[in-house]
Structure formats: C-alpha cells, structure tokens
C-alpha cells in the first residue's frame, strides 16, 4: 500500500538523479508537494518536474549546492516562504568521492566529500528545525549508507561523513523529540544508481559486489523510495532516532555464510 502524504510539504536534496529522483517521484505520488533540489543538472531536473506536473503533482525545482551554508539555508527558507511551511526534509544529496588511501588523499577532495555528505545535511536540517520546533511537527530523514557502520578502504571521508550523519540523526532526534519531531536515517546498501555505475557496469566488479550481499542482488531505487515514503508518513509515527537499513542484509557479514 502506498504511503499517504496528502497535504505534506517536502524538500528532497539531490533530487535530479538516482535515489533522489525516485524519492521525489514517490513522495509526489503519495500526495506530497515536493521541492526537489538539484546541483548542476538543470535540464534533467526540469524534465522530471514537467513529467510529474503532467500527472498532477505539485513540484518545484530548487538549485543549490547544499555544502554552501548560505545557499542551503536560503533554499530551505525559500520553500517555507513559498508553501507556508515544511513538514518533511529528505537529506539525500551525496557523493562518494575518489578512491584514495588516507595518507594519499587530496585534502580539498577529502573535505569536499565531508562538506556535501555531512555539513550540507546539517545546514538543511538546522534551517528546517527553526520552523519545525515552534510548530512541534516535522520529519527529517537523512540518507546515510551501510558505510555508516562498514569501513571502506579508499573512502575514509565518505565513511566518516556517513557515520557522522548517523550520529547527527540520533543527536537531533534526542534534541527535537520533546517537540514531536522525528529524525531518522535510512542506510542503503548497494542500490543501482549512477553513483556506482562503475561497479555494476563491469561484470567482474559486479560479481565481487554480489558476493557481499546475502540477498544476492543489488537493490532498486524504487525499493528505497517506497521505504522513505513510509518512514516520513504518519504511519511510522513512533520511529525516530535510529537507522533503517535497506541493504539485502549487506551489513550482516556475508562471508560468514560460508562458516566462521
């Protein structure tokens, strides 16, 4: 059954591609008004918006680099001004960066990954909370990763950002819980999107990846999007402060299926 988000006002960051696009489509199909953010894919964002509007959805596109504290805050306040408020924030925008062992990492690149994956989520959440706290209502969902818990060689900035984002979720859930605001994380495993095309586009790396997933296949972005729609809906009214894994049991140490 689809979630019911009738009358809710949502903002999805990084909505012009992959998970963000499907989350935007699912929230709109569930009845929410959706502002979806894009960074550089203006044409793609506009064509998604046009497509959704044709089907009667109330959507707008919002350009911003979420790692810029001023632009991120302006984006959130713009949507609040336009729609008179915000009920749902999905912090989805993210990059995994370039492979580099920690002692070889380029510092600008290392910091950029943290700024997009962690600072950006904080800037948007902070601005949304300024509205949600006095209203005593709202939901913030942060897209983390199985790498909030699984280390990943060559991607220390990504794992640090996602682990930090998971703790940000828990801390804000503690702070905002008394105001009736839910804050949670959704940690995808390996979901087929542009971010990991280099892996699923090559039979050898795909085979290696599938061995890490007890469920034996990659996830589809629609499977994440449906879970997001449920989690931000009132049907999930007592879920807050934790991470929901959508990962085909990837965090369950697949190697142990052959004995320990």
* Residues acting as catalytic residues: 158
Q: Tell which one of 14, 35, 138, 248 touches ligand NAD (CB under 6 A).
A: 14
User: Is 185 among the residues that bind ligand NAD (CB under 6 A)?
Assistant: no
Instruction: For the CB of residue 124, give the shortest distance to ligand NAD in the complex, in Å.
Output: 10
The 10 Å Cβ neighbour count of residue 256 is 9
Nearer to ligand NAD, 215 or 238 (CB): 215
Q: Tell which one of 190, 225, 229, 246 touches ligand NAD (CB under 6 A).
A: 190
Nearer to ligand NAD, 170 or 212 (CB): 212
User: Is 79 among the residues that bind ligand NAD (CB under 6 A)?
Assistant: no
Residues 21-50 that bind ligand NAD (CB under 6 A): 37, 39, 41
Instruction: For the CB of residue 65, give the shortest distance to ligand NAD in the complex, in Å.
Output: 4
Q: What are the Cα distances from residue 83, in Å, to 58, 111, 152, 217?
A: 11, 34, 40, 40
User: Is 194 among the residues that bind ligand NAD (CB under 6 A)?
Assistant: yes
Q: Tell which one of 24, 30, 67, 157 touches ligand NAD (CB under 6 A).
A: 67
Q: To 5 degrees, how large is the angle CA 93–CA 6–CA 24?
A: 20
Q: Tell which one of 12, 48, 62, 93 touches ligand NAD (CB under 6 A).
A: 93
207: tokens are 């085979």
User: What is the distance between the alpha carbons of residues 112 and 158, in angstroms, rounded to a whole number?
Assistant: 10
The 10 Å Cβ neighbour count of residue 119 is 18
Nearer to ligand NAD, 136 or 197 (CB): 197
User: What is the distance between the alpha carbons of residues 8 and 47, in angstroms, rounded to a whole number?
Assistant: 23
User: Is 80 among the residues that bind ligand NAD (CB under 6 A)?
Assistant: no
33: tokens are 């008004």
Q: Which residues, in sequence order, are CB contacts of 141 under 8 Å at separation 6+?
A: 88, 89, 90, 91, 183, 184, 185, 186, 228, 231, 232
Can you name the residues that pair with 60 across neighbouring β-strands? Answer: 35
Nearer to ligand NAD, 14 or 35 (CB): 14
Can you name the residues that pair with 96 across neighbouring β-strands? Answer: none
| Count of chain residues binding ligand NAD (CB under 6 A) | 27
Q: Are 113 and 158 in contact (CB under 8 A)?
A: yes
Residues interacting with ligand NAD, by CB under 6 A? 13-14, 16-20, 37, 39, 41, 65-67, 92-95, 116, 143, 145, 188, 190-191, 193-196
């Amino acid at each position: 059954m689809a979630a019911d988000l009738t009358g809710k006002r949502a903002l999805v960051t990084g909505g012009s591609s992959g998970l963000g696009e499907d989350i935007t489509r699912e929230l709109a199909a569930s009845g929410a008004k959706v502002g979806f953010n894009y960074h550089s894919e203006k044409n793609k964002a506009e064509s998604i918006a046009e497509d959704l509007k044709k089907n009667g959805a109330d959507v707008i596109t919002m350009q911003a680099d979420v790692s810029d504290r001023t632009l991120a805050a302006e984006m959130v306040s713009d949507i609040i001004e336009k729609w008179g408020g915000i009920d749902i924030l999905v912090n989805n925008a993210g990059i995994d960066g370039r492979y580099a062992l920690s002692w070889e990492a380029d510092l600008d690149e290392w910091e950029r990954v943290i700024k997009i994956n962690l600072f950006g989520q904080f800037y948007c959440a902070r601005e949304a909370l300024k509205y949600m706290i006095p209203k005593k209502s709202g939901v913030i969902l942060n897209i983390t990763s199985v790498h909030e818990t699984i280390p990943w060689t060559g991607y220390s900035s990504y794992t640090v950002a996602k682990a930090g984002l998971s703790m940000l979720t828990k801390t804000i859930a503690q702070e905002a819980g008394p105001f009736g605001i839910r804050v949670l994380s959704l940690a995808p495993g390996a979901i087929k999107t542009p971010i990991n095309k280099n892996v699923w586009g090559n039979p050898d790396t795909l085979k290696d990846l599938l061995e890490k997933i007890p469920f034996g296949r990659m996830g589809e972005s629609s499977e994440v999007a449906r879970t997001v729609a449920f989690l931000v809906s009132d049907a999930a009214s007592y879920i807050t402060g934790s991470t929901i894994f959508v990962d085909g049991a990837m965090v369950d140490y697949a190697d142990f299926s052959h004995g320990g």
